[in-house]
Amino acid sequence: MSSSRRAKSRRLKQVLGNVAVGILAVVALVLLVGLFLPRTFHVERSIDVQAGAEAIYPDLAGLRRWPEWTVWNKDMDPGLELTYGSPDTGEGAEYSWRGPKLGNGQLKLLKANPTNGIAYALSFDNGSMVSEGAITLEKVAGVVRVTWSNHGDLGKNPVNRYFGMMMDRMVGPDFEKGLQRLKTRAESAGK
C-alpha cells in the first residue's frame, strides 16, 4: 500500500472515530438531560354538562359503556378485543384490552360514587406503564363540571421522562373528545 493510501486510510479512521465519539456524546447528553426532566406527568380536562350526575354516572361506572363514549374503541383500532371482569360496573369493576394499535392494557375502578364520580388505576403492557386517574362530578352554577384527570410516575428511565413531556399533547385531545361525547350522551338522555 502506498503512503498516500495509508494516510487516507488513517484520516478515514480518524473521521469515523470522531463521528462515533460525537454520536456517543449526543446520546449521553440526551440521557443526562432526561435525568433532570420531571419524573411525573399529569393530564386534565374539564367540561360543563347541563344534566344531573345521575345522567352521567352510569357511563362512568359501567365499563361496557366506555367504548361508546371514549375514543379508545373499535373505531380507532378495528382489531380491538375487550374483556370485562366481574363485576363490570362500580367499584372493583375492570376491563382489559388487546389491539394492534392500542396495545395491551387494563383499567380497574378503585372508587365509584354516583355523586362524585370514579377513580381508576390504569396499566399498559403488563405493568410497564402504570397511572391513576379520576373522572369527577362537581355541581357548579347549575351545571355539573366533569373533570377527567390522569397522573403517573415515569420512574428513573430518562427516556420515559421525554415521553412524559408529550403526554398532555398526546392524551389531552382524547380526553376532550371523550368528555364531549359524554356531555352529548348525558344531555340528550335528560331531554
Query: Do 11 and 105 fall into the same domain?
Result: no
Query: Do 144 and 173 fall into the same domain?
Result: yes
CB 75 within 8 A of CB 177: no
Q: d(Cα 158, Cα 148) in Å, to the nearest integer?
A: 27
Query: Do 25 and 62 fall into the same domain?
Result: no
Rounded to 5 degrees, φ, ψ at 145 are -85, 120
Query: Do 25 and 57 fall into the same domain?
Result: no
Query: Do 158 and 127 fall into the same domain?
Result: yes
pLDDT at site 66: 96
pLDDT at site 20: 78
- CATH number (domain holding residue 100): 3.30.530.20
**Domain count of the chain?**
2
Residue in this structure with the C-alpha cell 395491551, named with its chain if needed: 104
pLDDT at site 17: 78
Query: Do 108 and 173 fall into the same domain?
Result: yes
Domain that holds residue 7: 1-36
Query: Do 106 and 152 fall into the same domain?
Result: yes
Query: Do 11 and 53 fall into the same domain?
Result: no
pLDDT at site 9: 78
Query: Do 83 and 174 fall into the same domain?
Result: yes
Q: For residue 73, give the amino acid letter.
A: N
Query: Do 65 and 1 fall into the same domain?
Result: no
pLDDT at site 187: 95
Expressed in angstroms, the distance from the first to the final Cα of the chain is: 90
State the 10-residue block means of pLDDT for the chain, 191 residues long: 75 78 74 67 96 96 96 93 94 96 95 97 82 96 96 79 76 96 91 52
pTM of this structure:
0.81
pLDDT at site 14: 82
Long-range contacts of 158-164 (CB under 8 A, 24+ apart): 158/30, 158/31, 158/32, 158/33, 158/34, 158/35, 158/37, 159/31, 159/34, 161/34, 161/35, 161/37, 161/38, 161/39, 162/34, 162/37, 164/37, 164/38, 164/39, 164/40, 164/41
- Can you name the residues that pair with 121 across neighbouring β-strands? 108, 132
Query: Do 64 and 9 fall into the same domain?
Result: no
Query: Do 6 and 50 fall into the same domain?
Result: no
